[in-house]
Copies of this chain bind each other. A is one copy, B any other.
Amino acid sequence: MTRALTAKGAATRQRIVAGAAELVRTRGADQVGLDDIRAATATSKSQLFHYFPDGRAELLRAVAAHEAGEVLNDQQPFLDELGPAGTWKAWRDAVVQKYQEQGIHCPLSALTTQLGPADPGIRVIVADLLETWHTRIADGIRRAQGEGLAEPSLEAEKTASSILAAIQGGVVMMQATGNIEFLKVPLDAAIADVEPVAGA
């Protein structure tokens, strides 16, 4: 990374990334040009290239990293608690509500499918996110097992994969159909083994 970054510079850089992320989220990566970002963040072309010498590609990688961080940040409090009865339901509700608010706009699928294939760097960021996310869920499952709230025979890693896939798949289907049930139903089914509370 570039060293020598004053407080002002860091703030500007941050403003650019946040603004660009917002645009990418709502419009899709290929619908966002440097001029759009420039306008939305009250910056100039030279600033964009000052902070991201490799241009658009580097900026989008920063956006991906930013969005990946946000995904975990949003869920952090819930993920840490996962285990005891009720915590899974609370987390589920938070996830559902989040995507309901965002509507069509998913920071991840936008980046994965749009830029992932073309940019290995972004794929790595997404893969890291998924791995971390997966680990947190698996940890929660083990805690549930420790408290006798889930079958000891349950394989934490595999169950975590199912839960995570239910979310990813549910979001994809929700984006295409506009129906949030396609997220709720699979997610409820996936967590049924650790939180036997059906949500209608």
Interface residues of A (CB under 8 A from B): 27-28, 30-31, 104-105, 109-110, 112-114, 116-118, 123, 126-127, 130-131, 158-159, 161-162, 164-173, 175-178, 181-183, 185-186, 189-190
CB of B177 within 8 A of CB of A162, answer: no
CB of B176 within 8 A of CB of A116, answer: yes
What residues on B are CB-neighbors of A109 within 8 Å?
A: 109, 113, 172
CB of B28 within 8 A of CB of A118, answer: yes
A189 to B104, CA, bound (A): 27
CB of B127 within 8 A of CB of A104, answer: no
Q: Which of A30, A112, A158, A173 has the most CB of B within 10 A?
A: A173
CB of B117 within 8 A of CB of A27, answer: yes
Subset of 5 A-B contacts with CB under 8 Å: A114-B114, A127-B176, A131-B177, A158-B189, A161-B186
Q: How distant is A197 from chain B, measured CB to nearest CB, in Å?
A: 15
Q: How distant is A189 from chain B, measured CB to nearest CB, in Å?
A: 4
Q: How distant is A41 from chain B, measured CB to nearest CB, in Å?
A: 22
CB of B30 within 8 A of CB of A114, answer: yes
What residues on B are CB-neighbors of A30 within 8 Å?
A: 30, 114
Given contacts A113-B114, A176-B127, contact A189 B168 (CB under 8 A): no
A190 to B105, CA, bound (A): 26
CB of B170 within 8 A of CB of A127, answer: no
A147 to B167, CA, bound (A): 31
CB of A162 within 8 A of CB of B190, answer: yes
Q: How distant is A34 from chain B, measured CB to nearest CB, in Å?
A: 16
A116 to B178, CA, bound (A): 12
Instruction: Please give me the residue from chain B that is nearest to A125 by CB atom.
Output: B176
CB of A28 within 8 A of CB of B117, answer: yes
A31 to B30, CA, bound (A): 10
CB of A165 within 8 A of CB of B170, answer: yes
CB of B161 within 8 A of CB of A168, answer: no
